[in-house]
Amino acid sequence: MSALAYTYRYPFASELAITPKGPDLRLATCSGADQHPYFFKGQFVYPKQAAELLRGLSQVVQSRYYMPPGMLSRILALADPVVTSGDDVLRLEAFSACCSAYARVDFSEPALDGELHERGTTNVDFNAPMRAALARVRDSDRVGLSVGTDRLEFSRGEETVVERKVSLPTRWLKGFVEVQAYQARMRDRLEISGLEARRFLRALPRGTKSGTYWLVPAGRGLRLSQRQSAGAVPVTGIERLRVAEDIARHAQAVHIHVDEETKASAWEWVLDGARFHLVLSPEVSRGFSGEGQALAALAGKDWQEILSRVQASLRWHAAIDPQPLAAKLGTPPETIRAALAALGTRGLVGYDLARRAYFHRELPFDLSLVEKLQPRLQDARELVDGGKVRIIRHNADGLEARVAGTEVDHRVTCKADVWKCTCRWYAKHQGTRGPCKHVLAAQLTADQTGNH
Amino acid sequence: MLPIELERVLDQGDVAGCVVLFANATERERSSMAKIAVPRLKKQLGGILGRLLDRFGALPEHDESLLSQFELAKREQIVATQVAVLACAPLGQLKKLGVRAVPPADEAYAVLVARRPPWIDEWAEFICNLSAFCWPVVRRLVREGICKRPDGDGYIEGMLSIGRGFHSRGPIIEALLEDPELLEHEIWRIFELEPKRHTRDLLSAREGTRPEYSWISTLVSLWHAGKLSRPRLLDASLDGLHRDFEEVRANWFAALHERLSPTIDERAERTRRYLSLLHSRNGSTVSFALKALAVLQKGERLDGGALLENLRPALGQRTKVTVGAALKLLGRAALVDGLSERAAALAADALLHESPDVQRAAVDIIERHGRPKDATLRGLVEQRLSGLAASQRNRLAEWLQAGVPSEIEAPGRADSPELDGCLERIEALDAHFCELAGMPAVAAICQGSGGEISAVSLAPMDVPRLDPQQRIEPIADLDALLERFAVLLEDPSSPDEVERVLDGVSRLCGKPPADLQERIAPLQAQALELIRNLGRTEWFESVLRSSLAVLAVRWAVGPAPNGRDTAFGPAQLSGGVFQARLGGIVRRAARRRAAPLLSAPTHAGGWIDPRTLVARAQTWQTLGQLPDNLDRAFALLRLAPEHRSAALQHAHSIEGEFGEALRYALGGEVESIGSNEILWVAAARARTPFEDDKRVEERHPGLGADGGTAAGYRFHPGRRAEGQRMFNLYGALLERIPPVPERCPDNLPTVALHSPFTYVGGAGLHRWLGTIWPLARESFFAFGVDNIVGNERGQMDMRADRPFLEALFDPDVPLTRIGGLLLTGALSAKHAEESLLATDALIAAIGDGRLDRALLGKALARLLPTGLLKPNRVAKTLAAAAKISPLHAYVIAGGLQQGLQWVGGFLSTRMTWTGLAVVLRLLKELLIEVGEPVGPDLRAALSGLKTTANNAALIRQLSYLEENNSGSAANAAARYALIRRIERAERWSRCAEGERRTSPRDK
């Protein structure tokens, strides 16, 4: 199965309604187990900035930075953003159609003035008229915001239910969960002012640019380079950054986070009471979906016993610190981190780069399918079940195993926690796209036999 | 209805008969016939015809030759089957068949009217989204109330295809007037249509040039005819623009709006909407709104306050013209009482634009309407000061000074480096390296002696190249070798890694362990898979990877039965320097005869420590074997300049012709030149890379450039225009002297480096070729010049040529004539990746002291009049590089001035006026930056030019420039240069010290 049939069901169409008090942004929430959750009622303190952020988010959703050859004629139904209300933050997340860019807007108290009604996660309707209306918001407007509707008000209303059936590709869903594993590995490498960021974005070459570029500090700003040098930070598919051009106008600072191993990067735009995160996959043609960064965690078993207890402690917290949680549950912090990574792959937590912590949110999709569709892990389990893994040697120096491949047996070794394999996948990616099925199979076997 | 009846009409291609046959059939009868009709249609349209139909949506109407050419059924037979399928198949089946199951409009209509299936609405929606070809039938069904109007965009896109060939071929207006209902509903949905890839052209500025086939002209005509409402059209076009569709589509709305020529009253009614469009993501929409607002402002119908509230996004646009238009509006609005200060603050936003002209317009407003004592405005200006063009920076600094004099720093670069601790660092250095790095002269300029900062003179034999940190660690064991080999097969982009693996195979292929077959099997399988898929799925670096794959397979399975790897098809070893080098290793690996590779580099970049080479040669001698010719030639060419005399002392024991050639390469004397031309040419080139070797030329004459005679070059800029080249054989910019033989031998590597056939491959191969003769990169750069300069190539070629520019980064490679030409020429490359890489190289070369004003000036003077440099591109890259440091600004300002000066009298005949304007504008800013006036020679050359008014104004501005603290700028540049040269000398000292401590390891 390559797609998940999903129905967005909204009590009304989101809109920027013009009321006597001023514009009122009414975001419709999708029905789920909790009927049309009602998260927030209040107003934007910086309306123009908020409008730009929401437009930026919707632009990511609408973007397809890469068109795989076989998909020219297929039209992907647009997926609506996911909203999470927890603690003091209202987060809206979205993913580009090609799965190579993930965006999240975090609104917190200084940017929002109002009342948080419920905690939870659901979809919000981002229709075209509403997106166009956002362009007309001015700073002098007093813009109200409601995410969801009061039940009483809703029952009195005469709104038409909006229903949209879409086919969400599995790779899109997988990307949504995989991106959290990337963010957790990123390091904050550069910081520039909002003004310099604007300058940098203006200087970006036009058109689609493939290949790796390097960001080099130049004075107080950044310069784009084609060469790796000391202090340079990699960034790929730079055309994806243009989505932030309007947001940059309001930004105070920008933090650039990078996963050095894969060259995935995250751009965190700091605004008044809000943050815009734009996470870019290592290549435009490589969505986050097939990366397998969390496969090793999924294949492990240390965290499995503790998983339900960690899950029970999430409680819509906006930042989950592994240390106190580890102390509370009586397990090492590493196990908690592994459990959180595993929960990330199930869509139960997201990662906040600004706080360097996971946060609780439950993606409103049935992700059991996604988990089942980890083909590498499935293949590895088949290899183990088929008795195709032989542990040759296991001692203090490491481990050596023979795993049957399609034509030949592959040699899997582990030395100082570095796993290697003689298969082509490993030769091609050297572990940057997660372990191969042979390594996973060896790990699973070693776990089963207590060797690992 | 009987199956036999259906088969008869289908065989006969009786379309009308088929329609009649199904006319009164029940659904049950119809479904029983589907078993006959559907497979028949699948068979008829199974091949190329079906694919054509899927793509174009209709069968060829008149041309039967296409059908007969492929021995296909006759057109009537196919149409009859389509009629039958549409008449009997269920909806699911029809969806699967798509347009293949849709007969021409009349027949389809007849079938559906007779059938009236319950799913007709769904089918109509589906088929409209699939192909515009099906619109006529769906429209007829809608018109007659047989199905409801489809909601999807496909229905409207179908309508837009009227007049495009497959519907009515008459003018669009005729089709619309024939069906007036379209004017009520469908026509207005055009304005809600989001563009898709295949429909983009239907409603773009590029739509039909003839008015009768243009939708804009049609809509305007319909308004003239009183069929459409003018206010509604005006509003709808603005609605369309508000939807922020992509630029191509937005331009159509704007064009329609302007074609309606709104009156000032009509515009005034829509002022809020124009203002709102200033927030659009599309630059062209913003530009459209600015034009409309300018009309309103001119007619005094625009509220300045409202304008200012909305203008900010327009001031942040990229296009110079758009920001310029926004500033004009702003300037006029500022004249209104109470708005001047707000206008000045807004103008500060436009200071972020890189164009000095835009910055000047913004500064005009700030100066005129801003108060220097206004703290908010001061803050905005101060934040933006550092990124401004020098001319505007000075103006704003003066304006700031007028406000609060004591707080303002003098304008200029704040990044002048300090020389703290430099003296101690210099004293700790070897005097020889200080001299070599040109430090005394630069130190004197720092102390105020004056003079120009000259480039470091890099004599190839004096500069130490063996950096201990760049040592190549040989692969130690079989497992590591197998792993690295597998990785290399996937990505051979690093030449050092290629050589490491070749060396590993060469050393470790003998005495195979008992389980070798089991251990090598994955590598063998990987190599075979790669060879199998060459040209299909395996395109990346196919030359290198296929050659390496052959090595892997031969090592695993032994020699090819007849000595040639014909079984591998295109991957067999034939031709090319890399394949020639690999040949000897493949033969030994196949026979499992291990031996150290004589030419394996000891250091990154292809360098071999001469002492190590002598030790290796002694090992071979002890083994009683002789390495192959090319291995020996490579070894000589890769000799590093240092330790040659020490190596020579030990080389006396090496016997035979190779021993003689080795000693000759190391600088020793020999009685006579031997007969092996491969060895002696390599020895001559290693001994004196840039000089002719008369003895070798005498003994082996006529081998071509870089044989016995060192290569010379003659520049032919006109050749680039002579047309498309094939492997660079035609139109090479540099003529080699002496010429390269037509059949250039692969085993004479230095000569082969001049042959275009050597470079047939990807970036990995090119990078590896750059390591063949690291001492002299001129031939490598020369090929880079031929390939890159003035060559507007595709992206694939551009990536393959990256290594030529990468080689420019080596701080010890002198940028003499050819290197300078390559670097300067690449600055105006078309692709951003390439021009950025060239800019990086320029920044590096100026920073490490290899490029000075004279060298840059010469290269610019050579290229600017040829048309090979695009002035706007080169101005952009030079301006970017000039911002890096005072030294960069100094070198580029002086280089540009000298270049223009040398072009001199040719300026008027060899450069376009616009090109000259761009260059002069840059020169002006750079000269202001470094505080220098225009030199007398250039002043004379410029004053004699009869040029445009714009250029004349620029020339006047240039001539007014006076020396303004230029000593300080030169001093800052010299301090920067001195620090970088100290770093250079320290690096050399580290190399020399490290290599003194290290003895050759692999004796």
What is the C-alpha end-to-end distance of chain B, expressed in Å?
95
3-state secondary structure B322-390: HHHHHHHHHHHHCCCCCCHHHHHHHHHHHCCCCCHHHHHHHHHHHHHHCCCCCHHHHHHHHHHHCCCCH
Q: Are B147 and B115 in contact (CB under 8 A)?
A: no
Q: How many CB atoms lie within 10 A of CB B43?
A: 12
Residues forming beta bridges with residue A213, ordered by sequence position: A235
Q: Which of residues 174-203 of A touch B (CB under 8 A)?
A: 195, 198-199, 202-203
Distances (CA, A) of A173 to A34, A167, A283, A292: 21, 11, 18, 13
Q: How far apart are CA B677 and CA A6, in angstroms?
A: 74
Which of A227, A236, A283, A412 would you mutate first to test chain B, the one with the most B CBs within 10 A?
A227
Question: Which residues does chain B have within 8 Å of residue A423's beta carbon, measured at their own beta carbons?
Answer: 522
B713-748 tens-digit pLDDT: 999 887 665 544 444 444 578 999 999 887 777 789
Using DSSP, how many helices (H) and how many strands (E) does chain B show?
56, 2
What DSSP letter does each residue of B742-789 carry, written as one string? SS--TT-HHHHTT-GGGG-S-HHHHHHHTTTSTT--HHHHHHHHHHHT
Q: Check residue A69 and give its pLDDT.
A: 44
Q: How many CB atoms lie within 10 A of CB A429?
A: 18
Burial readout B641-662 (b: 16 or more C-beta within 10 A, e: otherwise): bbbbeebbebbeebeebbbbbb
A73 pLDDT band (50/70/90 cuts)? very low
Query: In this complex, do A227 and B525 lie within 8 Å of one another by their Cβ atoms?
Result: no
Q: How many CB atoms lie within 10 A of CB B954?
A: 21
Which of A55, A209, A427 has its CB closest to that of B490?
A427
**H or E segment and range at residue A394:** strand A389-395
Which of A132, A420, A424 has its CB closest to that of B242?
A132
CA distance B637 to chain A (A): 28
Q: How far apart are CA B274 and CA B311, in angstroms?
A: 11
Which residues have a Cβ under 8 Å from the Cβ of B15 and sit 6 or more positions away? B76, B79, B80, B83, B103, B107
Amino acid at A94: A
Which residues have a Cβ under 8 Å from the Cβ of B65 and sit 6 or more positions away? none
Whether the predicted interface score ipTM is above 0.90 = no
Q: Check residue A372 and give its pLDDT.
A: 64
Nearest of B11, B12, B37 to residue B22 by alpha carbon:
B37
Q: Sign of torsion, CA B65 B68 B70 B73? A: positive
Question: Which residues does chain A have within 8 Å of residue B387's beta carbon, measured at their own beta carbons?
Answer: 199, 221
Q: Are A86 and A361 in contact (CB under 8 A)?
A: yes
> Would you say residue A329 has pLDDT above 70?
yes
Amino acid at B833: E
Compute the C-alpha angle B261/B263/B265, nearest 5°. Answer: 150
Q: Check residue A212 and give its pLDDT.
A: 87
A21-58 tens-digit pLDDT: 888 998 988 876 556 688 888 889 999 899 989 988 88
> What residue of A is the nearest CA neighbor of B55?
A73
Q: Does A283 touch chain B (CB under 8 A)?
A: no
Whose tokens are 């190399």? That residue is B991
CB pairs under 8 A between A and B: 105
Q: Sign of torsion, CA B834 B903 B951 B344? A: positive
Q: How far apart are CA B225 and CA B772, in angstroms?
A: 77
Query: In this complex, do A207 and B489 lie within 8 Å of one another by their Cβ atoms?
Result: no
Question: Which residues does chain A have within 8 Å of residue B125's beta carbon, measured at their own beta carbons?
Answer: none
What is the C-alpha end-to-end distance of chain A, expressed in Å?
34
Question: Which residues does chain B have within 8 Å of residue A410's beta carbon, measured at their own beta carbons?
Answer: 522
Q: How many CB atoms lie within 10 A of CB A177?
A: 24
Which of B415, B525, B809 has its CB closest to that of A219?
B415
Q: Check residue A385 and give its pLDDT.
A: 93
Q: HSE-up of B925 (CA within 13 Å, CB side)?
A: 25
Nearest of B240, B201, B205, B236 to residue B222 by alpha carbon:
B236
Which residues have a Cβ under 8 Å from the Cβ of B218 and sit 6 or more positions away? B171, B172, B173, B176, B211, B212
Whose tokens are 């990574």? That residue is A341
Q: Check residue A369 and give its pLDDT.
A: 63
Q: HSE-up of B238 (CA within 13 Å, CB side)?
A: 21
> What residue of B is the nearest CA neighbor of A201?
B318
Question: Which residues does chain B have within 8 Å of residue A250's beta carbon, measured at their own beta carbons?
Answer: none
Q: Are B918 and B874 in contact (CB under 8 A)?
A: no
Q: How far apart are CA A261 and CA A259, in angstroms?
A: 6
Q: Check residue B412 and give its pLDDT.
A: 44
Question: Which residues does chain B have within 8 Å of residue A198's beta carbon, measured at their own beta carbons?
Answer: 316, 352
Query: In this complex, do B521 and A409 lie within 8 Å of one another by their Cβ atoms?
Result: yes
Helix (H, G, I), strand (E, B) or coil at A259: strand
Q: Check residue A78 and give its pLDDT.
A: 59
> What tokens appear for B906 in the block?
């040719």
How long is chain B?
1003
DSSP state of A158: -
Can you tell me the mean pLDDT for A1-10?
A: 72
Distances (CA, A) of A44 to A86, A118, B954: 18, 18, 50
Compute mean pLDDT per 10 residues along chain B, 1003 residues long, and list them: 87 91 91 92 78 65 54 76 94 90 91 94 90 88 94 87 65 89 92 69 62 87 95 95 82 92 96 92 93 96 93 92 96 88 94 93 95 92 90 92 61 55 86 92 87 90 91 94 96 96 94 90 94 80 89 90 53 66 89 91 96 93 87 96 94 93 95 94 96 95 94 84 48 85 83 88 93 95 91 78 95 91 94 93 96 95 89 94 95 95 76 88 94 91 86 91 79 93 93 68 41
A421 pLDDT band (50/70/90 cuts)? very high
Q: Check residue A13 and give its pLDDT.
A: 86
For chain B, percent of residues with pLDDT exceeding 90:
60
Query: In this complex, do A218 and B883 lie within 8 Å of one another by their Cβ atoms?
Result: yes
Q: Are B36 and B22 in contact (CB under 8 A)?
A: no
A256-305 tens-digit pLDDT: 999 988 889 999 999 999 999 999 998 888 888 766 776 766 666 677 78
Q: State the angle between helix axes of B75-88 and B15-23 in degrees (0 to 180), rounded to the nearest 10.
A: 10
Residues forming beta bridges with residue A395, ordered by sequence position: A398
Question: Which residues does chain A have within 8 Å of residue B56's beta carbon, measured at their own beta carbons?
Answer: none
> What tokens appear for B854 in the block?
């004279």
Q: How far apart are CA B182 and CA B252, in angstroms?
A: 20
Q: Does A207 touch chain B (CB under 8 A)?
A: yes
DSSP state of B57: S
> What tokens appear for A385 in the block?
């079940």
